[in-house]
Amino acid sequence: MPDEAAISSVYSLIGDAGFERLVAAFYRQVPTDNLLGPLYPPEDLAGAEDRLRSFLIFRFGGPDRYLHERGHPQLRMRHAPFAIDQTVRDRWVLLMDQALVEAELPAAATAIVQPFLHEVATFLINRGAKPNLVS
Ligand code: HEM
């Protein structure tokens, strides 16, 4: 996992515009994805996009609108309703890796954002053989 100083520096590297490109490129792929499409609310994809974008902006050192609107992230708790096994996690990571390519962030930002997203995605696995280390 990148250290906290690196994580909080990303917003100053890419600003709102970088997160906008990244998250839009991710959500463009979701509706037609056979594994992820059914998990997301079809009537509120724009809302889902806004929640992920404002979370990432907050977590990577930008304004904390997410906290004011949604409270503490509690990502494991918020993902509990969705069955996330290794296969679903890997698909989420694949779509996000494709979004990172499309968004063309500066290499220094990608080098921090990509491992962060991969590791949090692993942490959110809540079904299957992997033992839950956090309850
Ligand atoms: C491991 C695969 C993942 C799956 C299958 C998944 C799936 C979902 C789904 C279905 C939602 C509900 C959409 C909505 O907001 O209406 C959601 C919300 C969210 N996800 Fe994920 N997610 C994954 C990984 C991640 C990762 C790695 C992060 C952060 C780094 C993340 C951050 C969020 C946030 C911030 C929300 C909105 C929470 C809220 O405020 O309600 N997710 N996710």
Q: Whose CA is nearest to atom 23 of ligand 1?
A: 121
Question: How far is the CA of 93 from the CAs of 5, 29, 31, 44, 117, in angstroms?
Answer: 23, 12, 16, 21, 8
Q: Write out the residue range of the structural domain in which residue 75 sits.
A: 4-123
Residue 37: alpha-carbon gap to chain centroid: 15
20 is a domain residue: yes
133 is a domain residue: no
Is any ligand 1 atom within 6 A of the Cβ of residue 105? Answer: no
Give the per-residue pLDDT at 132. 55
Is any ligand 1 atom within 6 A of the Cβ of residue 117? Answer: yes
Residues of the chain with pLDDT below 70 are 129-135
The reported pTM is 0.95
CATH of residue 44's domain is 1.10.490.10
Q: Which atom of ligand 1 is nearest to the CA of 82?
A: 10
Give how many domains the chain has, as a whole number. 1
76 is a domain residue: yes
132 is a domain residue: no
